Structure 1
Amino acid sequence: MSSDIRVGLIGAGYIATWHADALKATSGVSISAVCDLNEAAAKGLADGYAARAFTSVDDMIDAKCCDAVHILTPPHLHEAIAIQCLEAGLDVLVEKPVAESATATRAIQAAAEAAGKSFHAGHNFLGLPSYERMKKAMKAGEYGRISTAEITWALPLGPLRSGPFNLWLLREPRNLLLELGPHLMAFGCDLFGDLEIVHAEASKPTPLPGDDPRPQAFRILARAGLVDITFTISMVETVDDRSVTLRGSSARARLDYAQDVLVVERENPSDLVINPLRKQLDLSRQHMWQGVKNAGIQLASLNTKNPYGQSFLGMDAAIYGALAKGKPEPRWAGPSAIAVMQALDDAINLLPAEILAVKAPAVQTRKPKPTAMVIGGTGFIGRELTRRLVAEGHDVRVLSRGRTGPFPDLPDNVETVGVSLHDLDALTEAMKGIDVVFNLAKALETTWANCLINDVGVAVRIGMACEKAGVKRLIYTGTIASYDMSNPYSEITESTPFPADMTTRNLYARSKAECERKLMKLHTERGLPLVIARPGIVVGAGGPLQHWGIGRWHGAGAVRIWGHGRNILPFVLNEDIADGLVRMIDAPAIGQSFNLIGDPMLTARDYFDAIHDELGARIRVSPGNLNAFFVSDAVKYALKKYALRRKGVIRPSLADWKSRAHFSPFSNNQAKTVLGWRPEGNKAAFIEKAITKANLIGC
């Protein structure tokens, strides 16, 4: 409708989809533009909402196609973009953290006031229906006089242990608090007003590559009037506890804002015998009602109204409902954003200087002279490979989205360059002087069309750049997931073909197989010096606890393994993968592929028993019925395709589901014979490296 508020999204990353879906469902709003430096990302998101795509904020503003924008870029860019858009006459909503300090937030608000436009903060959880009920009940006195509050964010943060380490939130210790703290402080400020921060501490440091520590926990004490408030952030592997607890003279209310569940515990006037029974029955009734209600919402909406999504819906409905009336919504408006950021600034100022310090990178004594390139060098395997190459005497050029990487201790040997994988000329230029290129890049797309662009197209382009630059060897990492591993009586070797029809395989397996096919065509027809590596289930230091190659995880404490879990899995240590890849540089292996699988050792159940024995952490393990997974997936496929009318939906076959259990045994003889590769063969040593010393739990 022409009367709709036209909204542009600046930034097309993960969070943009949540904003876009909520805006699409908000009355009186339409998405008119998407802007991102990555043209493919901007266009991919824009096409789904019939919006225009831009790669420049200036161009988007000049097009005059927006009345408002949501700024969804990395936080260090928020202030400048927000002020630019406000001065151009646009209302702005800025994703949290709205800036890197309260001073910067005040500058945004000043620009909004000068332009006569609105500035809102993306504190989405304030829009959650159950939170609004909690706040309304508290203000009405239903909980009595509030004396204390506990506001908690306890959720594992994978990048702290397994990367990627070049994210904004890991650049400085304070960024972790700036990233997660706004959720908690927004609750505190909205419920109680301005906060007086009286204590702040950080704990559980974990080293990033280069021995640069980051805290995994924060505890902040505050006061607001007569209310004492405890803010807790925990990022180790823990049970998900994202909650707001209010203790009042009449009741205790606990909001699980991750699940949109509000439960209120009250006293009752029954006698001493009936009282505890009645109290527990009341709590049981509330939990039952909340569970049934939320399940009904998910079923009726076909899982499009989960709690996180509803929080964005509530936020957008309130903000744009107020804007339609010509005024900002106070809960999210500039003054509230300033109060939140001031509380965070005050907490940061109370933290010890040594906690906030970033370890200075090693002093460079010479410029690297790279002869090896690692594409995907900031990932789990890429980091280990890069360090192994340096240990073997190679200087390395790492291709990354940015110009920083997880190698601050290797300035003489490693350089990180930012090159688009969609730019053939730039790739060719970056490969000058390079003898060997390792392509570890992968794109986890949701449609086959995007796989062809961002995975297959990229792999071919890298191959063509290697040809043009005269690279002596391209080592490409495929995946064993491309095999049909459903038959426990069929051993897989490098001569085992992929299925003739890959259209019924999951997108990752299908896409990697197509990458291999295209690259082998370049090898056979044009002489591309290609070697292919197919790693197994890679484990070790820097790897995740919640490894999806083993099963479907439900938080850190429960996993539903693929299948019965009694078959030997193709585990392999990350350090052994790096060793195998390095051996491919000089081995007589051009035109060959190698399954980099460790020696047979552990089943899925053995692996989790070892975690319990070594770390003292019992994970709840359940077998996964693969036939049931297949049937459930078929139902979801039908709903997505016919009810939600989504394009490009795929339905993996039963063999694909069974392949996830890795039923087929593997042979690693070819890698041992041709490469001289010797993966860890001692079970006790393997467990020590894969589990005991791998920092899986984070504490």
Structure 2
Amino acid sequence: MSETMSETGSEIRVGLIGAGYIATWHADALSATPGVRITAIVDPNESAAQGMAHAYGARAFTSVEEMFAANCCDCVHILTPPHLHEEIAVNCLNAGLHVLVEKPVSESADATRNIQSAADSAGKRFHAGHNFLGLPSYTRMKAAMQSGDYGRISGCEVTWALPLAPLRSGPYNLWLLREPKNLLLELGPHLVAFAQDLFGDIQMMRAEASKPALLPGDDPRPQYIRLLAQAGGVEVTFTISMVETVDDRSVTLRGSSARARLDFAQDVLIVERENPSDLIVNPLRKQLDLSRQHLWQGAKNAAVQLKSLNTQNPYGRSFRGMDAAIYGDLSANKPQDARFSGASAVKVMQAIDDAIALLPAEVLTVKAPAVQTRQPKPTAMVIGGTGFIGRALTRRLVADGRDVRVLSRGRSGPFPDLPDNIETVQASLHDLDALTEAMKGIDVVFNLAKALETTWADALKNDVGVATRIGMACEKAGVKRLVYTGTIASYDMSDPGQQITEDTGFPEDMTDRNLYARSKAECEKQLLKLHRERGLPVVIARPGIVVGAGGPLQHWGIGRWHGAGAVRIWGHGRNILPFVLNEDIADGLVRMIDAPVEGQSFNLIGEPMLSARDYFDAIHAELGARIRFAPGNLYAFYAGDALKYALKKYALRRKGVIRPSLADWKSRAHFSPFVNTKPKEMLGWQPETDRATFVQKAITQANLMGF
């Protein structure tokens, strides 16, 4: 912090480098931090940078160098993929900026030391984004431990038990899945930072990994990691579980006077103590004390959520606590808070390195991809080929003898075992010329892309605009067939008495429908307009609720999930749902390549099989796992949505808020039955008809639990 800034008390100007998912959490916390103003958003994706910059009143840049030249920041938060952290952090420090680096701050302890060295040389501060150390409940736990309230601490257990869906259903081109060690690099700092801050330097003693998940190409990744360590005379156990499990993200301290358990996912601290009452009253008093604490913590958190209109959940509070500590010290020229200092980050990453060194070599080995013997000669392109349906479709095309070009944001895709048949290319979906170039030599394009936006303006740009642009590129490149994947969600499915066929139209007014349903309907409208007016050879597919291997357990087409063990069904859950196997979807899409069906649409819905209740009963019967489900009152969902709409529009003055619709909520329950005659007659499509086989493929063999 410059002396001038501290004397004048001027605002600290902060830039965010990276405009992905985590950036919003940082931006919201910074916006609530006194004396701080967001002035820059940097992302190579200009649209993402501009959209976020507009939302937070900042300037947008597509490179760090542009931000340097503008001289608009005093500090930056580096929120890019971890393999880019070191270089960007060092460059920013050398440019005279303080840095906060999202965890993991780097890919090794040595790289972290390089960042700290650059900070020391520049006279600037390097902060680690260990946000959970900023939780109010953690601050209370640490203070109580240090004051002796829990007695002498002998043991500590730090747990991260939370399903990691990409391990089983992708996307597989994420940094954290590139190497097995990246899973520990990604999640380990959260756990190790707690122990480092509480007890001091950590000595890793043992590391083990189990329950491997097989990525495409049979490349294993561990889903269960356990580390044994010592720190400050305390035995510490770190547990990371990424299978489908009850959420348990906690720190437990075992002391001579009390056992304290911090649920850092919920910002709840519960302390279990003995009491001096006699043998009869003692157990009652102990349980009453625990009940009182749980009730108080639950009521307090609910009050915070209500008062803040759901803008201060525990995760958001952790970022606010971190930023308050960092920028409070920075503005007052106080020494760095040790919780977030670069020196602590080095020790945390050294402990992670030590743990990785203790893991067996076979756990850390990346299975080498197959050796390429020829260059692919693709005649089919799949846009969205790394997704659930896209992966099955791409492999089906190869099985049918076609080479495939997959359009992806990354340079690699989930097909390491098929280098002779699949090539992955990068092209911006906003660049017509690049899309046209990528389609050279292609006969059929499958567009499975989708954009889940929060405003209609963004949906028009990033979903409807993209779908139309892909259609125009197909025209320019001479593509013979474009298969576009829409959604049955665009229908009004609220009436149990109405059968839905391809002749059933979408509602005339969709302004009160959810953005995904509305946007997909508009995409179809624009593509069919291109077909009528310019002869675009488009065919539209609308998959139902897609299930099968590679799909998620927590499928939101069925209900609102509360972890892996509980779900509130959309509606009563007794009506038959439009389930369909992923392999049947791939078969239907392939059949659209040569069939004389240009300008037509097909609802790819399987044969009537299961209701939501039947589905969960089948999971219990086949997997031995009972998932608690309850019917969801759609009128209550609608009323709650209406209340949120009123608060957002009139209390928070937000623009573009979607007016709630009862029909939209009822449609989520899929009350209207579908008739799948058209694809069977015109495409020769034959979805699975045997219920037992369907259950085997959709549930038993689908690896829903991850183990």
Report the TM range for the smaller structure's normalisation: over 0.9
Matches within 5 A, 1:443-592: 443-592=451-600
Unpaired segments of 5 or more residues in structure 2?
Answer: 1-7
Show the counterpart of 2:431: 423
User: 2:9·2:331 contact (CA, 8 Å) conserved in 1?
Assistant: no
Give, in whole Å, the separation in 2 of the partners of 1:449 and 1:577. Answer: 31
1:678 aligns with 2:676: no
C-alpha displacement at 1:592, in angstroms? 0.6
Query: Which residue in 2 is equivalent to 1:96?
Result: 103
Question: Of 370, 374, 378, which residue of structure 2 is paired with 1:366?
Answer: 374
- The counterpart of 2:134, out of the listed 103, 116, 127, is 127
Residue 309 of structure 2 corresponds to residue 302 of structure 1: yes
Residue 64 of structure 1 corresponds to which residue in structure 2? 71
Distance 1:2 1:388 in 2: 63
For residues 652 and 284 of structure 1, the distance between their equivalents in structure 2, rounded to whole angstroms, comes to 38
Which residue pairs with 1:394 in the alignment? 402
1:192 aligns with 2:169: no
The structural deviation recorded for 1:399 is 0.5
- For residue 642 of structure 1, report the CA deviation from its aligned partner: 1.3
The residue type paired with residue 509 of structure 2 is: D
> What is the letter of the counterpart of residue 61 of structure 2?
F
Structure 1 position 556, deviation (Å): 0.4
What is the match of residue 158 of structure 2?
151
The residue matched to 1:48 in structure 2 has which SS? helix
Deviation of the 1:264 alpha carbon:
0.4
Letter in 2 for 1:252: R
- How big is the shift at 1:331? 1.3
2:607 counterpart SS class: coil
Matched to 1:491, the amino acid is Q
Q: Deviations over 1:135-177 (max 9, x none)?
A: 0000000000000000000000110111000000000000001
In structure 1, what residue type is equivalent to 2:445?
A: V
Residues 134 and 322 in structure 2, CA contact (< 8 A), matched pair in contact too? yes
Matching residue's letter, 1:254: R
SS at the partner of 2:339? Answer: coil
* 1:79 paired to 2:86: yes
Deviation sequence 1:5-31 (CA, Å, 0-9, x none): 100000000000000000000011000
Q: Secondary structure at the match of 1:299?
A: helix
State the distance in 2 between where 1:488 and 1:305 align: 39
Q: Deviation per CA, 1:532-567, whole angstroms, max 9, x where unpaired?
A: 000000000000000000000000000000000010
Residue 598 of structure 2: SS of its match in structure 1?
A: coil
Is 1:320 the equivalent of 2:327?
Answer: yes
* Map of 1:160 onto structure 2: 167
In the TM superposition, residue 504 of structure 1 has moved relative to its aligned partner by 1.0
Secondary structure at the counterpart of residue 254 of structure 1 = strand
Which amino acid in structure 1 is aligned with residue 482 of structure 2? L
Decide which moves more: 439-448 or 325-334.
Answer: 325-334
Range 639-648 or range 41-50, more displaced: 639-648
Misfit runs of 4+, over 6 Å: none
Contact map agreement 1:197 1:222 (CA 8 A) in 2: yes
Gaps of 5+ in 1: none
Q: Among residues 641, 646, 659, which one is paired with 1:638 in the alignment?
A: 646
SS at the partner of 1:215?
A: strand
For the 8 Å contact 1:219–1:232, the answer to whether it is kept is yes
Give the C-alpha shift of residue 646 in structure 1.
Answer: 1.6
* 1: CA distance, partners of 2:365 / 2:207: 16
Give the corresponding residue for 1:53: 60
* SS of corresponding position for 1:107: helix
**What is the deviation of 1:225?**
2.6
- 1:108 corresponds to which of 111, 115, 127: 115
**Cα deviations across residues 450-479 of structure 1 (Å, max 9, x unaligned)?**
100110000001001001111000000000
Q: Please state how far the C-alpha of 1:329 moved relative to its aligned partner.
A: 2.3
1:33 aligns with 2:44: no
SS of 1:205's equivalent in the other structure is strand
Superposed CA deviations along residues 581-601 of structure 1, whole A, max 9, x for unmatched, are 001001111111000000001
In 2, the alpha carbon distance for the partners of 1:174 and 1:336 equals 21
User: Is the contact between residue 645 and residue 660 of structure 2 (CA under 8 Å) also seen in structure 1?
Assistant: no
**Among 374, 380, 384, which residue is 2:392 paired with?**
384
Q: CA RMSD in A?
A: 0.8
Alignment of 1:201-350 (within 5 A): 201-326=208-333, 327-350=335-358
- Structure 2 CA distance for aligned equivalents of residues 329 and 192 of structure 1: 16
Aligned length: 699
Matched, 1:182 2:189: yes
Aligned: 1:693 with 2:701: yes
Match of 1:442 among 435, 444, 450: 450
Secondary structure at 1:681 match in 2: coil
Instruction: Please tell me the residue identity of whatever aligns with 1:513.
Output: A
Aligned-partner residue type, residue 263 of structure 2: D
For 1:47-104, what per-residue CA distance to the aligned partner results, in whole angstroms no more than 9, with x for missing partners?
0111000001110111100000000000000000000100000000000000000000
Contact 1:323 1:329 (C-alpha < 8 Å) held by counterparts: no
Residues 484, 538 of structure 2: 8 Å contact kept: yes
Three-state SS of the structure 1 residue aligned to 2:695 is helix
Q: What is the letter of the counterpart of residue 219 of structure 1?
A: R
Percent sequence identity over aligned pairs: 79
Indicate yes or no: 2:386 matched with 1:411.
Answer: no
SS in 1 for 2:606: coil
| TM-superposed deviation, 1:306 | 0.6
Q: Deviations over 1:225-262 (max 9, x none)?
A: 32000000000000000000000010000000000000
Q: Distance in 1 between matches of 2:660 and 2:666?
A: 10
Contact kept in structure 2, 1:195 and 1:343, CA below 8 Å: yes
Equivalent residues of 2:18, 2:78 under 8 A apart: yes
Q: Which amino acid aligns with 2:701?
A: K
Please state whether the residue corresponding to 1:94 is helix, strand or coil: strand
Q: SS in structure 1 opposite 2:466? A: helix
| Shift in Å, 1:648 | 1.2
| Aligned amino acid, residue 40 of structure 2 | A
Distance 2:82 2:152 in 1: 38
Match of 1:204, SS state, is strand
Q: Distance in 1 between matches of 2:419 and 2:234?
A: 50
- Opposite residue 380 of structure 1, the aligned amino acid is F
1:83·1:108 contact (CA, 8 Å) conserved in 2? yes
**Does residue 689 of structure 2 align to residue 669 of structure 1?**
no
CA-CA distance at 1:2 after TM superposition: 8.1
> Deviations for 1:21-45, whole angstroms, at most 9, x for unmatched residues?
0000001100000000111110111
CA contact (8 A) 1:78 1:94 kept: yes
Match of 1:597, as an amino acid?
I
**Distance in 1, Cα, partners of 2:649 & 2:173:** 37
1:138 correspondence with 2:145: yes
1:647 CA displacement: 1.6
Secondary structure at the aligned position of 2:208 is classed as strand
Match of 1:660 in 2: 668
